[in-house]
Amino acid sequence: MVDKVFKKSITKQFEFDEEVASVFDDMLNRSVPFYKEMQRLSINFACNFLEENDKVYDLGCSTASTLIELSKHCKNNLKLIGIDNSSAMLDNAAKKAGAFGVDIELINADLHDVTYENAKLILSNYTLQFIRPLQREKLVKKIYDSLQNNGIFIFSEKVISSNSTLNKQSIDEYYEFKKTQGYSEFEISQKREALENVLIPYTEEENKKMILDAGFSHCETIFKWVNFATFIAIKK
């Protein structure tokens, strides 16, 4: 279904509710530049590390598209676990996983309340940005502690620039991208307002510092388009 959520005047902050969940795949494809390419790269990098029966968690799995694609592309059998606290997203995830015949354990919970056990790979695309900064550092530490040695964490985030001129240019460039995807200026400004204080982006450097502070031995950007970046972190 086509995303028309912000065609009308907003009455509340952005939420992953039923209305958003019903159009989410279209929203993500049209709102995150190179979303499919970022997903393809995350999966290819992940598959190089994964072995038979490895445990994979997707934090903020939404409609489970990444886990479904991962299971299609990796040659190994994997134990796939998707976590999200939006029931509407998980209902869609369950339907999609069933339609594609992919076995995914879907957990409806807050990311802070789940114990991640013996994970080889933890994925989290465009989710940490929705976690309050103090909680975010704690969650990343928990992610580090839950990974096996040689485990990896792949995550994507909207990022800001510490240079105000470049930051403004990046935002302008991003809004031009949204226009090419068919969003009107009204929809763009409504969503911007709804996301205020809900989506809190860090700079690329702040993200890497948070990862290294948690204990990871290495963190690298594997993909970046203006203000959207994908990182891979390795636990030694």
Distance CA 65, CA 170 (A): 27
Residue 31 contact partner, candidates ligand PRE, ligand SAM, none, CB within 5 to 8 A by sort of partner: ligand PRE
DSSP code of 118? S
Binding pattern to ligand PRE, positions 107-146, x when CB under 6 A? -------------------x--------------------
| Amino acid sitting at position 66 | T
The response to whether 35 counts as a known ligand-binding position is yes
- Nearest distance, CB of residue 85 and ligand SAM, angstroms: 4
Give Dmax over CA atoms of the chain in angstroms: 49
Distance CA 60, CA 194 (A): 19
Instruction: Out of 85, 161, 167, 203, point to the residue binding ligand SAM (CB under 6 A).
Output: 85
Q: How many residues bind ligand PRE (CB under 6 A)?
A: 9
Which among 5-13, 96-104, 126-134, 201-209 is the span making contact with ligand SAM, rule CB under 6 A? 126-134
Instruction: Out of 43, 67, 89, 159, point to the residue binding ligand SAM (CB under 6 A).
Output: 89
The two tokens of residue 85 are 């606290």
- Could you please report the per-residue DSSP string of 10-61? --S-----HHHHHTHHHHHHHHSTTHHHHHHHHHHHHHHH--TTEEEEEET-
Q: Which is nearer to ligand SAM, 58 or 204 (CB)?
A: 58
Determine, following the binding rule CB under 6 A, whether residue 6 of this chain makes contact with ligand PRE: no
Determine, following the binding rule CB under 6 A, whether residue 195 of this chain makes contact with ligand PRE: yes
Residue of 47, 48, 49, 66 whose CA lies nearest to 58: 66
Distance CA 46, CA 54 (A): 11
Residue of 5, 7, 1 whose CA lies nearest to 19: 5
Determine, following the binding rule CB under 6 A, whether residue 94 of this chain makes contact with ligand PRE: no
Determine, following the binding rule CB under 6 A, whether residue 86 of this chain makes contact with ligand SAM: yes
Which among 85-93, 96-104, 180-188, 220-228 is the span making contact with ligand SAM, rule CB under 6 A? 85-93
Residue 32 contact partner, candidates ligand SAM, ligand PRE, none, CB within 5 to 8 A by sort of partner: ligand PRE
Distance CA 111, CA 79 (A): 18
The response to whether 85 counts as a known ligand-binding position is yes
Span 16-45, contacts to ligand SAM by CB under 6 A: 16, 28
Torsion, CA 101, CA 103, CA 108, CA 109, rounded to 10: -150
**Contact yes or no for 235/167 (Cβ under 8 A):** no
Binding-site residue set: 35, 60-62, 84-85, 110-111, 125, 192
Give me the residues that bind ligand SAM (CB under 6 A), please. Answer: 16, 28, 60-62, 65-66, 83-86, 89, 110-111, 125-127, 130-131
